[in-house]
């Protein structure tokens, strides 16, 4: 059994667990940045920018997100290739859209047709991260926008009374205080993000779902030293347990962070902590 679980191909599934964790780490950060940008745009006093921010937040509602995932990967790919096409080969005359075919000049292909395998994989991964960030950025923007509005008005008015400019008020008063209001929403988002990672499979990444299907399928003695029947069920059970453990651990960790953040805040929970301490 142990021999079986350490074959060369099995290393691939362990690596793909790492891929998932890397994706989570990168996406969490970029989505937060996207979300912050979106929320700032929505709050902006410049009307078109505010429309843009609100539109970005609103557009992800009402439609299944999986459709967005499928859509953005193709759309981004097309967008990048058209951009490179315009820059790299300006004297290309044939139309890009030829019926049902999308043709750009060979130099504009992304990744280049003769690039090694790992470049293709990295590019696919990059597209996936970008897609995840755009979709989750919209959710994060919504949460942060709500949190910014939840900070008591009096705090901002006090800051203005002290003569702070609009920008100073935003960075020194609003942003430090909004996190405690944003955290419940953001931790919910984190849970959703964890549970969205298997969708990587749909974006054509060789992730854990892919490998679980590959490795679990029945193997005949002809091709491998470790033949077995159809074990895919057990592989997916293992994935299920992995995700359960992951969400549980995150839940506990986020609870801790929340307790830290409420410390010294002018909220009900903060008051309760203060009273408990004395």
Asked if residue 63 binds other proteins (CB under 8 A), the reply is yes
Among 192, 253, 257, 272, binds other proteins (CB under 8 A): 192
Residue 60 interacting with other proteins (CB under 8 A): yes
Residue 195 is a binding residue for other proteins (CB under 8 A): yes
**233 belongs to the binding site for other proteins (CB under 8 A):** yes
Tell me how far, at minimum, the Cβ of 243 lies from other proteins, in Å. Answer: 5
What are the beta bridge partners of residue 101?
A: 98
Q: With contacts defined by CB under 8 A, name the span among 36-44, 92-100, 152-160, 268-276 that binds other proteins.
A: 92-100
Residue 83 three-state SS: helix
Residue 146 or 170: the one with the smaller Cβ distance to other proteins is 146
**Cα 103 from Cα 96, distance rounded (Å):** 5
**How many CA atoms does the CB half-sphere of 94 hold within 13 Å?**
10
H helices within the chain, ranges in order? Answer: 2-5, 8-43, 47-59, 65-88, 117-150, 153-161, 166-168, 175-196, 208-216, 232-262, 268-277
- Reduce the DSSP state of residue 50 to 3 states and report it: helix
The span from the CA of 120 to the CA of 182, in Å, is 37
| Residue 137: closest CA among 216, 29, 232 | 29
Contacting residue, 166, 172, 248, 259, with other proteins by CB under 8 A: 248
Cis amide bond preceding 111, omega within 30: yes
- 188 lies in the binding site for other proteins (CB under 8 A): yes
In the bound complex, what is the minimum distance in angstroms from residue 202's beta carbon to other proteins? 6
CB nearer to other proteins: give 156 or 186. Answer: 186
Q: Which is nearer to other proteins, 165 or 247 (CB)?
A: 247
Kindly indicate which of the ranges 14-22, 27-35, 96-104, 161-169 contains the residues binding other proteins, using the contact rule CB under 8 A. 96-104
Give 196-235 as a 3 state SS string. Answer: HHHHHHHHCCCCHHHHHHHHHCCECCCCCCCCECCCHHHH
| Nearest CB to other proteins, comparing residues 33 and 74 | 74
Residue 67 burial class via C-beta count within 10 angstroms: exposed 0-12, middle 13-18, buried 19 and up: exposed
Question: Using CB under 8 A, which of 101, 153, 161, 256 touches other proteins?
Answer: 101
Is the torsion defined by CA of 226, 228, 232, 237 positive or negative? negative
27 binds other proteins per the rule CB under 8 A: no
For position 66 contacting other proteins by CB under 8 A, the verdict is yes
Asked whether position 21 contacts other proteins by CB under 8 A, the answer is no
Q: Rule CB under 8 A: is residue 70 a binding residue for other proteins?
A: yes
Site residues, other proteins (CB under 8 A)? 57, 60-67, 70-71, 74-75, 78, 97, 99-102, 138-139, 142, 188-189, 192, 194-199, 201-202, 209, 212-213, 216, 230, 232-233, 236-237, 239-240, 243-244, 247-248
């Amino acid at each position: 059994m142990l021999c079986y679980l350490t074959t060369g191909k099995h290393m691939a599934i362990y690596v793909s667990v790492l891929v998932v964790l890397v994706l989570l780490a990168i996406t969490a950060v970029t989505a937060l940045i996207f979300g912050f940008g979106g929320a700032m745009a929505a709050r902006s006093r410049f009307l078109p920018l505010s429309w843009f921010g609100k539109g970005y937040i609103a557009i992800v509602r009402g439609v299944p997100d999986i459709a967005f995932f499928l859509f953005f990967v193709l759309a981004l790919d097309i967008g990048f290739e058209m951009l490179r096409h315009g820059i790299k080969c300006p004297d290309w005359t044939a139309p890009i859209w030829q019926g049902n075919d999308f043709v750009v000049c060979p130099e504009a292909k992304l990744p280049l047709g003769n690039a090694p395998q790992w470049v293709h994989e990295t590019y696919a991964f990059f597209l996936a991260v970008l897609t995840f960030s755009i979709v989750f950025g919209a959710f994060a923007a919504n949460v942060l926008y709500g949190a910014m509005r939840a900070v008591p008005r009096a705090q901002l008015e006090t800051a203005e009374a002290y003569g702070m400019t609009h920008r100073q008020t935003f960075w020194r008063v609003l942003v430090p205080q909004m996190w405690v209001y944003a955290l419940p929403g953001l931790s919910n988002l984190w849970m959703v993000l964890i549970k969205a990672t298997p969708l990587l499979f749909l974006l054509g990444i060789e992730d854990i779902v892919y490998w679980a299907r590959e490795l679990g399928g029945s193997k005949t003695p002809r091709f491998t030293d470790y033949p077995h029947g159809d074990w895919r069920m057990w592989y997916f059970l293992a994935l299920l347990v992995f995700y359960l453990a992951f969400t549980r651990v995150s839940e506990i960790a986020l609870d801790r962070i929340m307790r830290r953040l409420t410390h010294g805040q002018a909220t009900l929970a903060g008051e309760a902590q203060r009273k408990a301490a004395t």
